[in-house]
Each structure stands twice: as C-alpha cells, then as structure tokens.
Amino acid sequence: MRKSNFQMSTFKMFSLWLLVVPAGMVYLYLNYRPVEVNWIYLLIFLLFTIVTLNFPISLNGKPLFLAMWITIPAFLLYGLFVETLLMQIAITTMLVKVSKDNTTRPYRFFMNSLILFILSVAAASVFSFVGGEVGSVEFGPIILAVFCYQLTHSFLMDFILRFYKNISGTKSSYLSKKIVFSKLAGFGILPFSLTVYFLLQFIGIGSFLLLGVPFFFVTLILRLYNNSEHFNSSLKNAGEIGHELSNKMTEKEVIDQFVVDVTKMLGNEYTFLFDYKDGWLELVRAYEYHRFEDVQFSPMLAGQGLAGTILKNNKPIIYPNRQEWESLSVGYTPDDMQSVICLPITRNQKVEAVLLVSSVKKNAFKDYQLMILDILCSYFAVSIEKARYVQETVKKSERCALTKLYNYRYMEERLEYEVREMNSGNTESLSVLMLDIDHFKKINDTYGHESGNDILFNLARVLEEALPNDATVARYGGEEFIYLLPGMTKIEAIQFAEKLRIKIRNTEFIIAQGLGEIPNLENVTITVSIGVSSAPEDTDDAKSLLRNADRSLYLWAKQAGRDRVASYVK
C-alpha cells in the first residue's frame, strides 16, 4: 500500500474506528432509535442510498455523490440512528465496488466510515440546536434546520479532508471548479430531498414512485450524456496527441511520448509497448506508476502470453479483471494488475507492435476507450514511420555514403559546437586529429579504385572501434579523416594518435583481385600520417584549430617521412 510518512497505518485507523463507530452506533441505538418504523420505507431508503452511491453522476471523471436526496428524508422521518445506519451500509457496498485493490480496501472503509459517522452526528447536533425536530412538518423551521444540517455536513467534510490531506502531504485546491460545483450540488439537492420528505408525510409510499423514479431517470440521462462528453473529449485529446506525436523527430521520442500520453489519458498504472519483428514480440518500453522502468521480459512468439495472444488473433480486447487473463499471462506481470486493454498496432494491414495497458482497478476501461486507443495507435504508427524516414534522411545528409562515417559538413558543425562548449567552460580542452593514408594513390593505381574504396571502408571501421567516449570521427575528404576529442589535452591526443597509428600499421586489409566469379583475396597493409592540434593551447577558434591540424599533418608528419604523428607548434 502506498502511503505518505504521515498517513495512519490500517491498524491505527481500525483502532480509532473501533473506539468511535461501533460504540457510537450502540449509543445512538439506545438513545435515538425510532419508536415506529415502516420497514418497507426503510428497505426503499436503503436500496435508493446504495444505488445512488454506487452509480454516481460523474463530473469531469470525478464521481458526484448525491445521497442526501434520500438520507435527509430518512433522517427527518426516523432520526439519527437510521440515517447513520443507512450511510454505514451504503458506504460498505460502495467501497467494495470502487476500491482499487484488496490491500487498500480495509483502510478506506475504516477511514470513510469514521468520517461519515462524525459528519452525521455533528450535522444532527446542529439540526437539533437550531430547533429542528424529527417528524416535524412545520415548513419554516424544517427548511432552516435542514439548511444548517447540510451546511455543517458540507463544511465539516471540507475541513476534515483538508486536514487529512495536509498531514498526509497531499496537495489540494481550495477553490477548484469541481469543489465549488460539488458544494452547490449538495445544497441544490435540498429542495428535492425536502419534497420527498413532505410527500412521504402526506401521500406515503407513492412519493418514491413520483420522485425516486424520475431522479434515477434523470441520473441515467446525465450519465449517458457524460459518457458522450467523455468520448468527445477523448477524441479531441487523441487528435491533439496525434499532432504532438507527428512533431517528434526521432523514433525514441515518438515511443516515449506515445506511452506517456496513453497513460495520462486513461489514468492507468501500467503501459507496455511490444515491438513485432521477425516473428517475435519484444518489450520496447515499460511505464509503471508514471515512470519508465527497465523490465526484463523474454521475447515471445505469436500465441504466447497476453500480447502474443492478441498478436495471433489480431483483435483488440478488454479484460475487466485479473481472473479473465491470468491464465494467458507469461513472464513479468505485477501482482496488482487488474483491468487490461490489449490491441495490435498495424500499418498498411501489417502488425507492427502490440500495446498493453493495465489498471489496478477492476472494470476500469470502457468500450469507447478501446476505440480511442485504436485511433491513437494509428497516429502512433504513422508518426513512427515519419520519424524513421526523417532519421534516415538526416543520417544520409550527415554521413559519408562510402565509409558511413560522419561527413565534412557534420564535422564542421560539431567542431563549432565543441569549441563553444570549451569557451563556455563546459570542457577544459579540445584536440583535433587529422590523419591521411600514406601513398593512397599508389594503392589505387596498383589494385584499382574499387579496392581503394574497400580499404577506406574498412579503415573507417578501425577508426570507429578506436573512438573514445564523447569523441567524433568523420571523413574529411578523399583519404583524410578527422577525430574531434573533447576534454583531451595535447599530450593525451598525441598518445592516442600514436596508438592509433600503430594499430593501423599492424592491421591487414583484405582486398579482392580479379574479375572472375571467385576473385583472389590479398592482404594489404597501410600506414597513416597524423597531425594534432589542441585548444586552448594552440588557438580558441574552430577554423584555426582545423588549419593547425592540417599544417602539422602535411608540413611536419608527411615531410618528415610519413607514418608518424606530428603536433602543431606555434
């Protein structure tokens, strides 16, 4: 159970509840039980209270409980004991239905039962203090007393909740629209509850038919309207999410944003995204309680596990509780997962991925949410395809087609960035290595340009393998290559260059000779000359740094006999 440091343990809450509620109910029974009770009325009161609390009107996704329409008439007819008993029974049935999990249910029951008992006793005391009498039909005094009753109930509830949230460290809004509307609704229901009471006094059981049935009919209409509003709101939200996804430039950004937005929209605790490739499902992202987690999950074939079953059937499904899907599950499944939505993500009639969303609540998801998710998954698939295209385009524009290293244009931009970082104090030094293959023209003339290209490509792999952390290697042009080495001093750069030179000299490059079906393979060795320049020792300017490395390469390393490292000297 997730609690703050200030929240009472279930045991402490139970102890407090045990001291107050059972003893208080016994006291109320002995002192405030009604002399005569119409048991049919009592059963109808109980039924209406349970139904009202278990099927509330929803306001922006938050339930609005209007049980006062039936508990106030019960109180006015039979007094405090009956009203308290109704609320205690009704709250028990409601918490069994809406509690997130079995672990929190006892705590929630004891806390809510205690609060409602205190509210009932306090409101009834104020009712009596202002002259209200149970069973009275005097219009003026009853209206005043019931208004004070509701005022006490409303503001004492607000005080208790604020006090509880303060000690538990939970932030709350004092004047949010939902709180204001809830209070207005509580007072707005008073004329209806008083009408029920007076009609019961004068026409009896027919009052339930005249007012109770219309009340639930109107509630049903409001619930249907609210569901429609939810659907329209979710549809609009899905469009906004789709637009946001389309603006992401990388595949990772699209995936992360999609997972976060789905979780935010549905209000669930677990979101898992599986990639489908080469016949296997592989977990790409796991998002739990609003945090990305590194979950170890073995790849699955179609038909294996929840996601694999959806993949095999190629149909989305909603599971209302754990019992419905637990037999299908394999691998990682948190113990508090209950409701599940699982659906395939397709593009051009081909399954690309599987989305699994889970809540710790039972019956948490509606059919319309599955429709919204299907739309979102379509946006996601299109955005992924776009991001991959953009990444490929950027890669082509930044990379040398032959060697697959960064090209001259990217290297220049990166060099400017690294110089700015150094001048800003984020790095202390920056070194540049420029290397050139010795006698490369002779290689082309001897073995041909195709073999020369093979050597360039394989040399690029050697340079990549030697690349230090946070460094960049690029093809400068022809047989020239450049290293950008942020944080590396001139001495360190010279040592690195020397090791690199020896490594290249000792590497054998395989080239293919001949034009037959089975060409002759030949091992070739090469040497390189390397020029080194560093900042801030030599310069603090990007172009000068590059020019200095070039000079040290050609004026000193090449002219001194090649296959050597030379550093720039002012």
DSSP string, 316-358: -EEESSHHHHGGG--S---TT--EEEEEEEEETTEEEEEEEEE
Residue 3's pLDDT is 42
Domain 10-204 falls under CATH 1.10.3470: no
In the beta sheet, which residues pair with residue 319?
340
Residue 6's pLDDT is 35
Q: How far is CA 50 from the centre of its chain?
A: 35
Choices 3.30.420.10, 2.40.50.140, 1.10.630.10, 3.30.450.40: CATH for 253-397: 3.30.450.40
List Cβ neighbours of 203 (8 Å cut-off, separation of 6 or more): 210
- Count of C-beta atoms within a 10 Å radius of residue 245: 23
User: Could you give the CA distance from residue 511 to residue 521 in angstroms, rounded to a whole number?
Assistant: 6
HSE-up of residue 109 (Cα within 13 Å, Cβ side): 20
Maximum distance among all Cα pairs of the chain, rounded to whole angstroms: 117
User: Could you give the CA distance from residue 405 to residue 479 in angstroms, rounded to a whole number?
Assistant: 13
Residue 235's pLDDT is 73
Q: Report the relative pairing of strands 339-347 and 528-535 from DSSP bridges.
A: unpaired
Phi, psi dihedrals of residue 406, rounded to the nearest 5°: -60, 150
Residue 49's pLDDT is 82
Tell me if residue 285 falls in helix, strand or coil.
strand
| CATH 1.10.1760 residue spans of the chain | 10-204
Whether residue 536 is preceded by a cis peptide bond, meaning omega within 30 degrees of 0, is: yes
Q: At which residue do the structure tokens 């790409």 appear?
A: 284
Q: Which amino acid is at 236?
A: K
Residue 292's pLDDT is 92
DSSP state letters, 202-264? HHTTHHIIIIIHHHHHHHHHHHHHHHHHHHHHHHHHHHHHHHHHHT--SHHHHHHHHHHHHHH
Token couple for 115: 């609060």
Residues with pLDDT less than 50, the chain: 1-8, 99-101, 174-175
Q: At which residue do the structure tokens 């020019």 appear?
A: 547
Model confidence pTM above 0.75: no
Residue 217's pLDDT is 72
Contact 568, 551 (CB under 8 A): yes
Q: At which residue do the structure tokens 């697959």 appear?
A: 404
Residue 499's pLDDT is 96
Strand locations in 376-440 (E):
430-437
Long-range contacts of 142-149 (CB under 8 A, 24+ apart): 142/76, 142/194, 142/197, 143/194, 146/72, 146/76, 146/190, 146/193, 146/194, 147/187, 147/190, 149/72, 149/75, 149/123, 149/124
| CATH 3.30.70.270 residue spans of the chain | 408-567
Tell me if residue 4 falls in helix, strand or coil.
coil
Token couple for 553: 């390469």
Q: Specify the CATH architecture of the domain 408-567.
A: 2-Layer Sandwich (3.30)
List Cβ neighbours of 266 (8 Å cut-off, separation of 6 or more): 341, 357, 359, 365, 369, 373
| CATH 3.30.450.40 residue spans of the chain | 253-397
